[in-house]
Structure 1
Amino acid sequence: MVKGKKKSNDPSGRKITLKMAKNALKVTVDGKRRLDLSNMAIATFPKCILKLSDVDELDLSRNLLKKIPDTIDKFVNLRLLDLHSNHLEQIPAAIGRLPGLYSLNLCNNHLTTSGLPHELGLLRNLRILNLGMNRIETLPPSVAALKELRELGLFNNLLTLLPKCVQNLPKLQKMNIKSNPIPTDEPPEVDCIQRVECLYLVREDCLCADCLKRCKEDRQKLDSRISAASTLKKSIFAGLLTPNSVAQENQELWR
């Protein structure tokens, strides 16, 4: 049998077979069935995984997906759907037919406001929604129906105002709206919501040019802070040589 060569530059992406998908099935620590097809250069939603639609978690993050089909609603048991770091411009209305969805990660895609369906508001059990690093200017009003939502990521978007639909979510505990063009005189409602930073580990070749540049700039700032803190720490502990020597002598006496 002649082995086929890997086509790393194939625009159609990697082909996923049912056997490959079955081998990617895992069981989480809490006993949930997780289908992990992340970081596999997939450009088209694999139809074969519809035969595994009874899984509880589906991870298609860090791929090349441009579209999610309406057949996503076949995953009726889905509690977690991770689609971060793809090329998605639109989410299908069928997403609203996943009543048990607990966590939805759409971070680092090409989503705009028009790409978010009103059916998002049908996800009444949703606790975590990450829409960071997209091109979103506002949210569909139906988001106000997400009464169970606890965490919301809206960082690195095009928001100029805090969407009214999120201001009265009764259980919202954490929201990240950093790196949006929101004026500094934002209404005080923002202050009552804790802002958190989300971290994802990806290879450099998975990032677009703008994201890679931003990451490198942030890394340089962090390195500068670490270097400054290290210098300060050395100067502080330099004065502790004598007390440590005394402590050592006391320990010898105690022995």
Structure 2
Amino acid sequence: MAKGKKGGPKGKKITLKMAKNALKITPEGKRRLDLSNMGIDNVPKCLLKLTEVEELDLSRNQLKKIPDFIGQLTNVRWLDLHSNYIEQLPKNIGQLDALRHLNLCNNSINGLPADIGNMRSLQTLNLGMNRLTTLPPSMAALSNLKELGLFDNQLTAIPECIRVLPNLKKINTKRNPVAYAQGDAKVVKASEGLCLVREEDLCKLCLEKCKEERQRLKRKRLSNQSQKRNAFSGLITPNSVAQSNQEQWR
């Protein structure tokens, strides 16, 4: 179960009036509805009448299920659902194709719908502290994703779908049972600025092999540079051979 819950009475109902009173304007001018830490166990359907909401905070509640109508909140750009009891997401969440930031940290999610790949505007996605063992291949379509949190899950391998994300700059895979098979390690193709393997995740033998290979490549590079510098060492001038041949032709 999700950890660190603090909330009000269980099953608290949120009315439209309560939701309107909780609606605020952020310093950036965004309309933000903060319903966090309210002790609610159902996403209030009155949210459908608040079409102007751009940021929605439902974190630190007792939500176990996200309703299908979540897909109708198409104006929401920022959605925070962290620290609930959510086990699954509805496929309709993929209809939030304008959503940029999604926080699902500290839930009990054991799988993601393939439709999450339709959320092409996503820039940050926090899936940390869940029960994920894999990710759907459709996530390879999240071409705008820049930050991805996968810490404290049950991943035994780096998912293939995140290796091809062109704009991914930050990824956190700490505290997963990722296995690195000695002598059978597969190289992860990483985007620029993306590091998927840390030194502390490698065994002593593999780490030594990596260091030896790094030194070998460095020596080879220095050797190639030296050979290029000495290519014309026996010539008086770079054009001396050409000048000699020209005299013979004459």
TM-score by length of 2: 0.70
In the alignment, residue 52 of structure 2 is paired with which amino acid? D
Q: What is the aligned partner in structure 1 of residue 131 from structure 2?
A: 135
In the alignment, residue 162 of structure 1 is paired with which amino acid? I
Q: Does 1:157 align with 2:153?
A: yes
- In structure 2, the CA distance between the partners of 1:53 and 1:187, relative to structure 1 (3 Å rule), is farther
SS of 1:189's partner is coil
In the alignment, residue 193 of structure 1 is paired with which amino acid? L
Cα distance in 2 for partners of 1:9, 1:124 equals 37
Please give the per-residue CA displacement for 1:14-68, whole angstroms capped at 9, x wherever unaligned.
1111111111111112111111100111111111222113211111000000111
| 1:112–1:134 contact (8 Å) kept in structure 2 | yes
Q: What is the aligned partner in structure 2 of residue 78 from structure 1?
A: 76
The offset of 1:187, in angstroms, is 4.2
Runs of 4 or more consecutive aligned structure 1 residues displaced over 4 Å after TM superposition: 184-188
Cα distance in 2 for partners of 1:187, 1:110 equals 30
Cα distance in 2 for partners of 1:163, 1:65 equals 28
- In structure 2, the CA distance between the partners of 1:35 and 1:9, relative to structure 1 (3 Å rule), is closer
- In structure 2, the CA distance between the partners of 1:146 and 1:74, relative to structure 1 (3 Å rule), is same
In the alignment, residue 189 of structure 1 is paired with which amino acid? V
| 1:27–1:34 contact (8 Å) kept in structure 2 | yes
Q: What is the aligned partner in structure 2 of residue 182 from structure 1?
A: 178
Cα distance in 1 for partners of 2:62, 2:186 equals 38
Runs (5+) with no aligned partner, structure 1:
1-6, 196-255
TM-score by length of 1: 0.69
Aligned positions of 1:2-81 closer than 5 A: 10=10, 13-81=11-79
The offset of 1:77, in angstroms, is 0.8
Runs (5+) with no aligned partner, structure 2:
1-6, 197-250
In the alignment, residue 127 of structure 1 is paired with which amino acid? Q
The offset of 1:184, in angstroms, is 4.3
| 1:127–1:151 contact (8 Å) kept in structure 2 | yes
Q: Does 1:171 align with 2:167?
A: yes
SS of 1:54's partner is coil
The offset of 1:70, in angstroms, is 1.0
The offset of 1:166, in angstroms, is 0.2
Aligned Cα RMSD in Å? 1.8
SS of 2:129's partner is coil
- In structure 2, the CA distance between the partners of 1:36 and 1:8, relative to structure 1 (3 Å rule), is closer
Cα distance in 2 for partners of 1:42, 1:60 equals 9
Please give the per-residue CA displacement for 1:152-178, whole angstroms capped at 9, x wherever unaligned.
000000000000000110000000000
Q: Does 1:92 align with 2:93?
A: no
Q: What is the aligned partner in structure 2 of residue 203 from structure 1?
A: none
In the alignment, residue 57 of structure 1 is paired with which amino acid? E
| 1:54–1:75 contact (8 Å) kept in structure 2 | no
In the alignment, residue 49 of structure 2 is paired with which amino acid? K
- In structure 2, the CA distance between the partners of 1:194 and 1:27, relative to structure 1 (3 Å rule), is farther
Q: Does 1:119 align with 2:120?
A: no
In the alignment, residue 21 of structure 2 is paired with which amino acid? N
Q: Which has the larger Rg?
A: 2
The offset of 1:188, in angstroms, is 4.5
- How high is the sequence identity, in percent, across the aligned residues? 57
